[in-house]
Structure formats: C-alpha cells, structure tokens
C-alpha cells in the first residue's frame, strides 16, 4: 500500500513538472528557451522601460473617470484619453517627443503644440502635478506602472494626424 502511494505521488509530480515545462525547451526559440526576450520585456519602472526601449501599453482610469491608454516606445509617448467633461464624450490625443507635446481632439481642425523648453510657470499640469518637460510626464506615469504591459508598437502610433495644423508651431 505504501509503495502504491509513493508511485502515485511520483507519477503526479512528474506530470506537474512536465506541465510546467521542466526538462523541455520553451517556446520562443533560441538556446535559452526565450529567456533573453523575457528579460528584455521585464521592466522595474517606466524610466527603466524608456531607457532600455521596452515598448509599453498602459491602460488606466483616473479618479475623475477619464480612461487613458498610454503607449511608450523609447522616448516617445502617445496618450489617448476619453472622458466626459461638461456635456458629452470627449476624446483627446497627445504625442510627446523631442520635449514637445502635440494635443488634438477627435474631429478637430486644429491642435495645440506645447514646447516644454518655453514653459516657465506651472500652467501645464498632468493631474494636479505641474509638467515642465517630457521627463515629468514619464515620471507621472510611474504611478500607473502596474497597468502597463510590454507590447509591440508601430512607429505610426506616434505620427501626427495629416492635415491638422497646430497652434504654437
């Protein structure tokens, strides 16, 4: 009886190890079974992901109910926010790169360009925190780090809409 229990225990242990992938090559290719790619895709902070060019997609809802999706690739950030301010639904987009931020709304014929190097006061805010640079925006996104996942992002996500002029250019 004791021998049967030991045999069944070993059988289930072998099955669980096989199911966990122990002793076989992991999918993902390469001699390390994809460990190098997993290490690249791991990030400890938004700043870490930016510095190592790990592309991220972050999706969160702010306290005021605004839903935002942020795409981060290298030193570029795209923000797509949707919320209800006043009457109706409002969708706002922003692209941040080269220490500048372009902002526009759906169906708008003009947008706004903010050149952070020309900001001398606290008039630009993200939430209730003043923003003076692209690095400030990345720092504000640290609070949302847990909502971020690694992904593949096309460069076209950071392109400005064709035919739209920006005040401040």
Percent of the chain residues past pLDDT 90, beyond the cut: 40
Q: Give 115's pLDDT tier (boundaries 50, 70, 90).
A: very high
- pLDDT tens-digit map of 14-68: 222 223 333 333 344 555 554 444 455 578 888 999 899 899 999 999 888 889 9
- What one-character-per-residue DSSP string does 16-84 give? HHHHTTTTSPPTT-TTTTTHHHHHHH--SSHHHHHHTT--EEEEEE-TTS-EEEEEEETTEEEEEEEE-
Which whole number is the average pLDDT over 163-167?
92
pLDDT at 138: 86
| Angle in degrees, CA 95, 97, 99, rounded to 5 | 120
Q: Where are the domains of the chain?
A: 44-167
If 0-12 CB within 10 Å is exposed, 13-18 middle and 19+ buried, where does residue 58 land? buried
- pLDDT tens-digit map of 66-95: 899 999 999 899 999 998 766 567 899 999
pTM score: 0.70
Long-range contact set of residues 50-53: C-beta below 8 Å, sequence gap at least 24: 50/74, 50/75, 50/138
């Amino acid at each position: 009886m004791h021998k049967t229990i030991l045999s069944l225990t070993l059988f289930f242990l072998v099955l669980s190890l096989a199911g966990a992938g122990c002793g076989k090559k992991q999918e993902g290719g390469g001699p390390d079974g994809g460990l190098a790619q997993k290490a690249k895709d791991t990030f400890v902070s938004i700043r870490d992901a930016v510095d190592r060019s790990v592309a991220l997609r972050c999706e969160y809802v702010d306290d005021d109910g605004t839903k935002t999706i942020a795409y981060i690739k290298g030193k570029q950030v795209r923000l797509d926010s949707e919320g209800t301010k006043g009457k109706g639904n409002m969708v706002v987009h922003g692209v941040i790169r080269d220490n500048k931020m372009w902002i526009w709304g759906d169906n708008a014929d003009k947008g706004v360009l903010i050149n952070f190097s020309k900001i001398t006061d606290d008039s630009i805010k993200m939430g209730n925190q003043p923003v003076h640079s692209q690095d400030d925006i990345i720092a504000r996104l640290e609070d949302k780090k847990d909502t971020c996942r690694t992904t593949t992002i096309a460069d076209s996500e950071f392109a400005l809409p064709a035919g739209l002029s920006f005040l401040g250019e």
